[in-house]
């Protein structure tokens, strides 16, 4: 796996200016071909993704975007080389799964079964603690967590049985695209659990110095940015504070972090070998190519990181890529990604014609 780094004499391991690092593990030199991308996105997603600059660059490279009509059979539309989608619901899930079976030659971004897994916070982080990243300059962990499906009033005993310690982060079990599914709460004691609405996931809060690392993945490109997060919870606070409190939207683009404001031990980005190893494993296990990982560094450690959330094709892809003035390039990243898909399809076709087994 090849890593291309932007020159930065201050940061020998890659560009960390303005709280970001970019790892490019794929060449942007692809054979230019006509590529038709059918897209099925919400109006909000379409507005954020199909920016004029992206469409202009795409046309220059022979890429066209075609809106999928959800009122017509998908197989009657196209033909498409790629189907890019982010719609929820069992009906659409069945439509895209049926289309994928009937048109294996079309690249679907991404398979609905793979997406479904990370829409459930119970299955989202399963298996991450077992990743073998021993030679990747760090350790990946997941917070202890449990699922509450119905009665939060009786969950206190279950919390004790599960070995979870307060305070606990409470998250809705299912991610359904609504603002409510992203609401987070911090519960300091057993009594406060009764105020929460199930189904939900309870996750141990890990002190992390008030900084969150958002890792954006587009195919073989990895981009990392810092965001402000919740401050550490002291032992005194644990003893004196009671109740449940709603999180602010601390990971938004407006909460971006300038590393000069932080302790260097807190501000340092996760090591590249660790990010590469983690993303490689997740791409393989999840079967996804467009996703985001939320990571934190355990306070007081240098190389112990926790994955706390994974999102599919999040809207913050775009605010992240053009928020920073030094790298307003999300459009080119996606163009290279789509051209890579075209190149891979072309090479696969040549191999099939010549009788070579891929």
Binding residues for Mg(2+), as ranges, are: 294, 309, 311
User: Which residues carry a binding-site annotation?
Assistant: 45, 86, 121, 171, 182, 203-214, 229, 294, 309, 311, 315
| Whether the Cβ atoms of residue 137 and residue 273 lie closer than 8 Å to each other | yes
- Using CA atoms, how far residue 202 sits from 49, 87, 230, in Å, is 33, 27, 17
- Annotated binding-site members for 1D-myo-inositol 1,3,4-trisphosphate: 45, 86, 182, 214, 311, 315
Query: Annotated binding site for ATP: which residue ranges?
Result: 121, 171, 203-214, 229
CA–CA separation, 143 and 306 (whole Å)? 7
């Amino acid at each position: 796996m090849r890593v291309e780094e932007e020159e930065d004499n201050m940061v020998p391991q890659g560009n960390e200016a303005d709280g970001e690092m970019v790892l490019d593990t794929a060449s942007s030199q692809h054979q230019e071909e006509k590529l038709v991308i059918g897209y099925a996105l919400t109006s909000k997603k379409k507005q954020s993704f199909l920016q004029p600059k992206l469409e202009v660059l795409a046309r220059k490279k022979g890429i066209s975007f075609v809106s999928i009509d959800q009122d017509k059979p998908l197989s009657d539309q196209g033909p498409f080389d790629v189907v890019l989608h982010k719609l929820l619901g069992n009906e659409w899930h069945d439509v895209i799964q049926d289309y994928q079976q009937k048109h294996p030659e079309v690249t679907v971004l991404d398979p609905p079964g793979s997406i479904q897994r990370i829409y459930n916070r119970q299955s989202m982080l399963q298996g991450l603690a077992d990743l073998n990243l021993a030679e990747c300059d760090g350790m990946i962990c997941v917070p202890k967590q449990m699922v509450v499906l119905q009665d939060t009033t009786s969950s206190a005993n279950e919390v004790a049985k599960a070995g979870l310690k307060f305070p606990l982060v409470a998250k809705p079990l299912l991610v359904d695209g609504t603002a409510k599914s992203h609401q987070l709460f911090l519960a300091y004691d057993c009594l406060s659990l009764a105020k929460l609405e199930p189904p939900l996931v309870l996750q141990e809060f890990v002190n992390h110095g008030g900084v969150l690392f958002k890792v954006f993945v587009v195919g073989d490109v990895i981009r990392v940015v810092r965001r402000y997060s919740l401050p550490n919870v002291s032992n005194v606070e644990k003893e004196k504070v009671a109740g449940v409190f709603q999180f602010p939207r601390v990971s938004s683009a407006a909460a971006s972090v300038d590393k000069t404001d932080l302790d260097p031990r807190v501000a340092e980005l996760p090591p590249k070998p660790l990010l590469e190893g983690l993303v490689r494993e997740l791409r393989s296990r999840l079967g996804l190519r467009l996703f985001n990982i939320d990571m934190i560094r355990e306070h007081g450690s240098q190389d112990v990181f926790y994955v706390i959330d994974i999102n599919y094709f999040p809207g913050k892809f775009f605010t992240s890529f053009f928020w920073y003035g030094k790298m307003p390039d999300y459009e080119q990243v996606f163009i290279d990604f789509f051209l890579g898909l075209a190149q891979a399809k072309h090479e696969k076709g040549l191999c099939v014609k010549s009788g070579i087994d891929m």
